[in-house]
Amino acid sequence: MGEAKRRQVAVQTQSSDEMVVDTPGGRMHVQWDHGASATPNAQLAFFGEFLATTGIYDSWVNSCPLMYSSPNAHSKLDVLGTWLLAILAGHKRYSHITGLRGDTVSAQTLGMQKIISEDALRRSLSRMNAEQSQRWLAPQLLGSVQAALNTPWILDIDTTIKTLYGKQSGAEVSYNPHKPGRPSHALHTYWVGNLRLVLDVVVSPGKEHSAAKARPGLIAVLERLAPEQRPALVRGDCGFGNEPFIAELEGRAQPYLFKLRQTTGVKKLLGRQFGREDWTTPGPGDQGWSAVEDTLKLSGWEKPRRVVVLRRGVKADLALSRKIKNEVGEQIELLMPDQDVEVWEYAVLVTNSTYALDAFGQLYRDRADCENGFDELKNQWGWGGFTTQDIERCQTSARAVALVYNWWSWYCRAAKPGARMEAITSRALLLAGVGRAVKHAGQITLYLTPMHGAKDKLLGLIANIRAALSYVRAVAEQLPQVDRWKTFLDYVVAKITRPLPPWSRTGQLIMQA
C-alpha cells in the first residue's frame, strides 16, 4: 500500500471529532469538545456582580412590560439577557446574536436558561408598542444617571444622523453629511456634558432633524429632574440658538449657552465689536481666544440678550480668492493679505448665565466632546445598527444601547476613576478572557485566563471595582432600604470630582470627564 493510500485510509477511519492539522508551528492534534462550559468573555462574572449588587439589572427586567402566557414561550429574563449580551458585545445587527448562542457560561452568569435566537428576540421586542417602550426605558435611562446629578453639571444637546439602507419606517432623504441622498433617521440626544452619559435619545424620521423636533425631548428630560438636579447650563450649537428654543428655557429660568448663526444682524454686531479696546487677554488655557460681551436684539427676538464674541488670530499662511467678471469672462482673482491685514476666526454666543466673561471660551469648546460620544456609540456600540422595518423598535433599541452604555461607563469609572475608557479598549481589558466553568459538589468554579497584555494592570482595576461593590454591600447591610444604585454612584462621583475653576462658583464640585 502506497503512502498516499495509507494517509487516505487514516483520514477515513479517524473520528470526526479528532483531526491532525499541520501548522507553521508544527503538527497539532485537534479535538472538538462539545460538552465543555466555556466562554470568551469570562470577566462578565465581575460585571454580573456589579449588576446584581447595585440592583439595576433586576429593576430593568422586572419593569419590562413583556408578558407571556404560553408555557413554551421564552422567559423575559432570557429575552432581556440575550439583548444585554448582544449590546455588551458591540453587536450592530440582530443576526450577530448567533455568535453568542454557544456561550452557556455567560447565560448562567445572568441567570438565564439559554441565549435565544435573533428571530425570537426581534419578535419579542415587536410585542411592545411605542408607549410601553417609552414608559419602560426612558425612566430607566434617566435613572442610570439621575442619582449623580446633585453635583453641578452641563446638559449638552445635539443631533446625529443614522444612515439607513432599506425601506424602514421614517427613512427619509434629508440632511446627511456623510452620505448625501441616502435615507436616514435623526437621533436627538441629551448628554451629561464631558462625562458622555446619555440622559435620553429620541429617534425621529430623517427630515425631523431640526432644533424644533429636539425641544420636546429636552423639556421632558428637564421636567423629570428635581429642581436641585437641573443642569447649571444647557449647551448646544447654532441650530439651537433661535427664539422658540431660547424663550422656552428662559420661561423655565434655565441657564443656556448657544452659538449664533452668522446672520446679517450678527455680522453687524461683529463690525462694532472688533474696534473695541477691552478684549480680554488670552490666558494659558484659552488657546489664544479673547472675548468681549454686549447685548443684541435680532429681528426675530422678543428682547435683547447677552452675547459673547470670541476671536482668535489666524497664524497660518493664507491666500484669498474671489470671482471677477471681465471681457474674458468669469475668472478667479488671488489676493495675498499683506502685513497690515489681521485675520481672525470668531464665534458669537448667546447666553443668560452669570458666568464670568473669560469662562465662555472653554465652556463652549467643551461642547465638542459630544462628537466623541456619538462616535463611540455609533462605531463601538450599536447605534449604527439594530435596524428593523418599524421605527418604534429602532427607538427601543437606541434607548437600550444607551442604557447598557451608561452602565458600562459607570463600571469603567469605578475601575479607573481618573479617566474615561472607551469600549474599544475597555471591553478587551475588562470583559474578554477565556473562562472554563467546572461544577463539583454543587459549587461552580470559573477558571479564568486573561489574554490581555496588561493583565497586571487588570488585577488592580478589578480590585477597584470590587472595593466599590463592597462599600455598597456594607451600606446596604446596615441600611437595608438604602438605594444601592445611588450608593454606588455617590461612591464613584466622590472619586471623580475636583474643585471648580476659579471662574465658577466656589465651594462646589464638578465631575471630570
At 268-287, the pLDDT tens digits run: 998 888 888 889 988 888 88
Distance between CA atoms of residues 196 and 191, nearest Å: 6
What does the pLDDT average to over 118-131?
Answer: 93
What does the pLDDT average to over 402-428?
Answer: 95
Identify the pLDDT of residue 479.
Answer: 86
Identify the pLDDT of residue 13.
Answer: 47
Per-residue pLDDT at 190 exceeds 50:
yes
Per-residue pLDDT at 42 exceeds 50:
yes
Q: Could you give phi then psi for residue 229, rounded to 5 degrees?
A: -105, 0
- The DSSP bridge partners found for residue 439 are 444
- The DSSP bridge partners found for residue 333 are 322
β-bridge pairing 256-259 and 344-351: antiparallel
Cα dist from 140 to 61, 77, 196, 450, 451, whole Å: 10, 17, 17, 33, 34
User: Could you tell me how many residues make up the chain?
Assistant: 513
Per-residue pLDDT at 259 exceeds 90:
yes
104 touches 367 (CB < 8 A): no
**Least confident stretch, 177-186, 304-313, 355-364, 497-506:** 497-506
Distance between CA atoms of residues 196 and 507, nearest Å: 24
C-alpha cell at 506: 466656589
Identify the pLDDT of residue 511.
Answer: 54
If residue 204 lies in a helix (H) or strand (E), which one and from where to where? strand 197-205
pLDDT confidence bin for 509, thresholds 50/70/90: very low
What does the pLDDT average to over 255-269?
Answer: 92
Q: What is the pLDDT of residues 321-352, one digit of tens each?
A: 777 777 666 667 666 666 667 788 889 999 99
Identify the pLDDT of residue 329.
Answer: 66
Distance between CA atoms of residues 190 and 370, nearest Å: 10
What does the pLDDT average to over 449-466?
Answer: 92
Residue that wins the pLDDT comparison between 497 and 339: 497
Helix extents (H) in 153-210: none
Instruction: Please state, rounded to an integer, the average pLDDT across all residues of the chain.
Output: 88
Q: What is the pLDDT of residues 216-248, one digit of tens each?
A: 999 999 999 999 999 999 999 988 988 999 999
Q: What is the pLDDT of residues 384-409, one digit of tens each?
A: 889 899 999 999 999 999 999 999 99
